[in-house]
Amino acid sequence: MLITELPQSGEIKMLAAGLIRRESSSLGAAIQQAPRSVHPLKDLARWTDAVLVFEESFADKIDQSLAVLWEEIPDHKTAFVALVPRGAAPVIDSSYGDPVTSFFCSSEVFARFAALGIDCWAQTLCFAMLRAIARRDIEVDCLLVRQVPLLRCHVNGRAALAKALLIPHRGEASHLRAALALARKSAGNSLLIRVGLDVEECDEYAGFPAEYPSVEFVKFSPAPVGPYVIRQELAENSAEPLLTLQDSDDLSCYDRFVMLSDALAETGCDIVGSHELCLDEIRAVVQPVRFPLDGSAALALCANHALLHGTLMIYRSVFFDLGGLSTDLIIANDTQFLLRAHFNSSIRNVDEFLYIRRRHAASLTNAPETIFDNPLRRWLSSVWTRDFDAIKRGELKIEDSSLRPLRRLEPWRAEPL
């Protein structure tokens, strides 16, 4: 094992280690005992099987996790694993953790990153590598996030139900390419991907059906119809027993779909989501965001964002029993669906980070006309919270409230690309 200290640019002391699988997969306390010397990062990648970059204070947790980390990477596949300190999930609403700086990756992946010549501090290496993956400057087979110490390997279920991944897309074509590239590589073979294009001109996407023959592309017009029209229409045309969602500028981790479907089977819940890792391209940080494990219990206390809509997996029958998504608005109807779902379904989050959410200036929650704190969003939150509380008190029925399913009145069309 080769360990080197990285140039310090702040209070956090960063180390890098070059690991050889046959040596480090069975060792205990290897990092803390290994001698340190000065090695260029490119040499760590050249002489080893994997590169580990981590905070010095993190070393004991890494030592406890190394053997299992090797088991998490399938043979003959490249991997990038962001390492998050293990922590408690919140009881109500989401909670943000400290920026993530540590990661474990295949030497081949690190060598490709080094070849890009990106100049960054040791504390921002994790951000720079993850952004390079999101931009497809680096190709990786397995994108993972693991909490450490990691003491056991997750064993995927064998009888996974077929599932449809529904992706509305409006924005940069490169974002959609990255989302599809990783979703198609995900663990398991029971995923069918359907994409709804919400763009004025489709010339840039004309070659997508040939490039991604296993993916179904549907053009919606007149654009924009909004993500909820698209998700609802794609759901109605999906026969698979499970529906799962993703925004087209986000990334699914390698094991996302098998972990979520296993959680549905094991817990008996109707809706399941996960924690997210926020790739914040505005602040240049990677930040963990945790959600309550018992979403139903969190919502029983108050109206809140107990589940990130993009991480959701749900039984198709439950989705339609709940009335599906309202399609009258371009923004916020995911919140309305979650509040409505509380009254007739069970909602949980797995205690894993399975979703990479990209925060950038053009996203719906950051663009000036649809920003998270704009007047329309504030008004909707006020009205929905008022009715949510009234329904809980037995003073109002869902069908008479602002939480009832509402449909878009303007005509629109959907046709295969």
Q: What is the DSSP string of 40-94?
A: -HHHHHHHSSEEEEEEGGGHHHHHHHHHHHHHHS-TT--EEEEEEE--PPPSSS-
Exposed / middle / buried, residue 337 (Cβ in 10 Å: 0-12, 13-18, 19+): buried
Question: How open is the CA angle 22-25-28, to the nearest 5 degrees?
Answer: 125
Cβ-contact 105, 51 below 8 angstroms: yes
Whether 363 has a pLDDT exceeding 70, the answer reads: no
Domain identity same for 77 and 109: yes
Query: Is 178 within a domain?
Result: yes
Cα angle 313, 318, 322 (rounded to 5 degrees) comes to 110
Q: Is residue 417 a contact partner of residue 176, using CB atoms and an 8 Å limit?
A: no
130 neighbors 67 (Cβ within 8 angstroms): no
Q: What pLDDT score was predicted for residue 33?
A: 66
Torsion of CA 20, 22, 23, 28, to 10 degrees: 120
Is there a single domain that holds both residue 196 and residue 324? Answer: yes
Q: Check whether 367 has a pLDDT greater than 60.
A: no
Helix (H, G, I), strand (E, B) or coil at 257: helix
Q: At 302, list the tokens.
A: 């108050």
Domain's final residue, options 94, 121, 148: 148
Q: Which amino acid is located at 270 in the chain?
A: D
> Which residues in 174-195 are b (16+ Cβ under 10 Å) and which e?
ebbbbbbbbbeebbbeebebbb
Domain count, the chain: 2
What are 262-282's pLDDT values in tens digits? 999 999 999 999 999 999 999
Q: Is the pLDDT of residue 72 over 80?
A: yes
For tokens 């329309």, the residue is 376
Domain shared by 54 and 109, yes or no: yes
Last residue of a domain, one of 123, 148, 173: 148
What phi and psi, each to the nearest 5 degrees, are found at residue 126? -60, -45
Domain co-membership, 68 together with 127: yes
In this predicted structure, the answer to whether residue 2 has a pLDDT above a threshold of 80 is no
Question: Would you say residue 40 has pLDDT above 90?
Answer: no
The pLDDT of residue 27 is above 60: no
CA-based nearest residue to 127, from 97, 96, 101 = 101
CATH number at residue 234: 3.90.550.10
Task: Name the residue with higher pLDDT: 26 or 68.
Answer: 68
At residue 45, the pLDDT reads 81
Q: 111 versus 47: which is more confidently predicted? A: 111
Assess whether 92 and 169 both reside in one domain.
Answer: no
The pLDDT value given to residue 152? 85
**Among 10-14, 48-52, 350-354, 364-368, the range of highest mean pLDDT:** 350-354
Tens-digit pLDDT profile for residues 162-210: 999 999 999 999 999 999 999 999 988 789 999 999 999 999 999 999 9
> Domain boundary at 120, 148, 176, which?
148
The residue segments making up the domain with residue 116 are 2-148
- Predicted structure pTM score: 0.94
Average pLDDT of the segment spanning 89-94: 96
